[in-house]
Amino acid sequence: MLTRTDLRGRVPSTATLRATLPRAEMDVEHVLHRVRPVIEDIRDRGVDAVLDYTDKFDGVRPERVRVPAAEVNRALDELDPAVRAALEESIARARRVHADQQRTDSTTQVVPGGTVTERWVPVERVGLYAPGGLAVYPSSVVMNVVPAQTAGVESLVVCSPPQAEFGGLPHPTILAAAQLLGVEEVWAVGGAQAVALLAYGGRDTDDGELLPADMVTGPGNVYVTAAKRHLRSLIGIDSEAGPTEIAVLADGTADAVHVAADLISQAEHDTLAASVLVTTSPELADAVDAELERQVGRTKHVERIRTALTGQQSGCILVSDIDDGVRVVNAYAAEHLEIQTADADAVAARVRNAGAIFVGPHAPVSLGDYCAGSNHVLPTGGCARHSSGLSVQSFLRGIHVISYTEQALREVADQVVALADAEDLPAHGQAVTARF
Ligand code: NAD
């Protein structure tokens, strides 16, 4: 089922690998020209425009954008107890991991009388997008809200698309997750409309104020991504999340049943999702292919998964040895990377580029999607080469606070003047000498 590329004995350069490895193409530029007028219309006409586009793209027109508190409470009251318990476990584990990411201010005494303090200050108001098109993602509410709350963000609003079958409210599990997390504000809006409304704010149909956000985070489809790209100077964004990806680096010790199940689990997200197997073992590749054929037919979303696995973004790459396998996965920089090899810890330690690494036979990506405690909003499309997943740090700004005494300034005045003159900016130097 997976298209096979044989790189045994001839792994090309990293640059060639990056250009040729299977990868989903999400043509954000292509939809930008359609998203831009939507954003401008929402800037000009506010909620009226939001509701018009929601009607068009979501097939429902909610009575208002802000979900009434009673509906959010009701969603939690009516939540299946097993799902509630699972969400509570997911939240507790995520809180434990993210608490350890908290930053503390640091003060450096540069010279006697001269200090620089780095003060970590949370973003004031954040909009968190929880997708709700093909699937609903209460887990994404957890993964966005927990680091923002841990960072100390005071004002949070969760946005998720309204669902026709729930009378124009977001999916009840999204509402229940928000309530469990203590988020009081939820908006029924999805796609580019959500990002635009978060950026500009507006007045709801009941005249309630929808305050703009300073930052918007969370994964979404190509329209969400295009809107984030277009508005990114007005608002901060986390990253442009593309279709999800899993790469599995495996040798002959891996269990083909598990590897196939894990490749399928990510293909289930999206027809553009990428599932890539990198292996030293042609026997394992054959066995995984046979398992994929066997397991895909038994899944609920057969067509979506089959399209993703047979798409140009998915495939199997044969390599001579684990060294070459590590080169390939480092060039690929997958959002999720599983290591299913002998001595998996040592192999994982050699990986430089990945959004998250799942080590050994008992750490499938699904664990990280929900309940490992790690964050599942991760860099896609090779961005793991330069970016990290969502964390407490994503919601903090490090402000430098500079404090110098007269004597400390006097001691360095000549150097400031020399550098200012070298840059032909003499007024900079005069701003120092004017004090003496
Ligand atoms: P979504 O909420 O991102 O998009 C649904 C919205 O798209 C709708 O509300 C609608 O307004 C808008 N829309 C639909 N068709 C449109 C059109 N023709 N023109 C303009 N707007 C339109 O939900 P989705 O579509 O299911 O996408 C979710 C994505 O998020 C998937 O690709 C999934 O893989 C990804 N995801 C990523 C992560 C991660 O951590 N990277 C986590 C969860 C989900």
Which ipTM did the prediction report? 0.96
Active-site residue among 268, 336, 338, 376? 336
Q: How confident is the model at residue 180 (pLDDT cuts 50, 70, 90)?
A: very high
Enter the DSSP assignment of 214: S
Helix (H, G, I), strand (E, B) or coil at 49: helix
Q: What percent of the chain has pLDDT over 70?
A: 100
What is the maximal distance between C-alpha atoms in the chain? 82
Helix (H, G, I), strand (E, B) or coil at 389: coil
**Alpha carbon distances (Å) from 222 to 80, 91, 241, 269, 270:** 32, 28, 9, 14, 12
Give the pLDDT confidence score for residue 220 in this predicted structure. Answer: 86
Paired residues of 117 in beta bridges: 107, 401
Q: How confident is the model at residue 171 (pLDDT cuts 50, 70, 90)?
A: very high
Q: How confident is the model at residue 22 (pLDDT cuts 50, 70, 90)?
A: confident
* C-alpha dihedral, 176 to 182 to 185 to 188, nearest 10°: -20
- Per-residue pLDDT, averaged over 164-186, amounts to 96
How many angstroms is it from 25 CA to the middle of ligand 1? Answer: 15
Cβ of 131: how many Cβ atoms within 10 Å?
A: 23
Q: Could you identify the atom of ligand 1 that is nearest to the CA of residue 269?
A: 34
Question: Residue 348 corresponds to which tokens in the numbers above?
Answer: 């994982």
Angle at 197 between CA 193 and CA 201, to 5 degrees: 170
Give the pLDDT confidence score for residue 273 in this predicted structure. Answer: 93
223 lines ligand 1 (CB under 6 A): yes
- Element housing 295 (H / E): helix 282-296
| 335 noted as active-site residue | yes
Instruction: Find all residues with CB under 8 Å of 100, minimum gap 6, and list them.
Output: none
Q: How confident is the model at residue 312 (pLDDT cuts 50, 70, 90)?
A: very high
Question: Residue 210 corresponds to which tokens in the numbers above?
Answer: 């929808």
129 lines ligand 1 (CB under 6 A): no
* Pocket residue to mutate for ligand 1, from 30, 57, 163, most atoms within 8 A of Cβ: 57
How many angstroms is it from 258 CA to the middle of ligand 1? Answer: 28
CA 277 to chain centre: 23
Question: Residue 318 corresponds to which tokens in the numbers above?
Answer: 């044969």
Question: Residue 18 corresponds to which tokens in the numbers above?
Answer: 């990056």
Domain ranges for the chain, please list them.
4-26+242-373, 28-110+121-237, 405-433
Q: Which CATH superfamily includes the segment(s) 4-26+242-373? A: Nitrogenase molybdenum iron protein domain (3.40.50.1980)
Helix (H, G, I), strand (E, B) or coil at 383: helix
Cβ of 176: how many Cβ atoms within 10 Å?
A: 24
Pairing of strands 315-318, 274-279: parallel
Lay out the sheet containing 215-217: strands in order across. 185-188, 155-160, 125-129, 215-217, 236-237
| Feature table: binding site for NAD(+) | 129, 193, 221
CA 153 to chain centre: 18
Q: Burial level of 310, CB count in 10 A (0-12/13-18/19+)?
A: middle
The CB-side HSE value for 275 (13 A sphere, CA atoms) comes to 28
Helix (H, G, I), strand (E, B) or coil at 211: coil
Active-site residue among 185, 240, 291, 335? 335
**Alpha carbon distances (Å) from 424 to 393, 412, 419, 430, 431:** 37, 19, 9, 12, 14
Alpha-carbon gap, residue 107 to 322, rounded angstroms:
44
Give the pLDDT confidence score for residue 45 in this predicted structure. Answer: 97
Q: Could you identify the atom of ligand 1 that is nearest to the CA of residue 272?
A: 32
Report the candidate in 432, 400, 402, 398 with the shortest Cα–Cα distance to residue 113. 402
Report the candidate in 11, 5, 4, 22 with the shortest Cα–Cα distance to residue 323. 11
Lay out the sheet containing 396-404: strands in order across. 106-111, 114-122, 396-404
What are the pLDDT digits (tens) for 196-241? 999 999 999 999 999 999 999 998 888 999 999 999 989 999 988 7
Tokens 């990290």 -> residue? 388
Helix (H, G, I), strand (E, B) or coil at 57: helix
Alpha-carbon gap, residue 376 to 97, rounded angstroms:
12
- Per-residue pLDDT, averaged over 25-43, amounts to 92
170 lines ligand 1 (CB under 6 A): no
161 lines ligand 1 (CB under 6 A): yes
What DSSP string describes 344-388?
A: HHHHHHT----SEEEESTT--HHHHHHTSSS------TTGGGT--
* Pocket residue to mutate for ligand 1, from 221, 224, 230, 265, most atoms within 8 A of Cβ: 221
- Per-residue pLDDT, averaged over 106-128, amounts to 98
Q: How confident is the model at residue 132 (pLDDT cuts 50, 70, 90)?
A: confident
Cβ of 410: how many Cβ atoms within 10 Å?
A: 14
Cβ of 408: how many Cβ atoms within 10 Å?
A: 16
58 lines ligand 1 (CB under 6 A): yes
For atom 35 of ligand 1, the residue with the nearest CA is 220
| 336 noted as active-site residue | yes
Provide the mean pLDDT of the chain: 96
Question: Residue 403 corresponds to which tokens in the numbers above?
Answer: 């404090």
Give the pLDDT confidence score for residue 353 in this predicted structure. Answer: 98
CA 227 to chain centre: 15
Which CATH number is associated with domain 28-110+121-237? 3.40.50.1980
Alpha-carbon gap, residue 47 to 204, rounded angstroms:
6
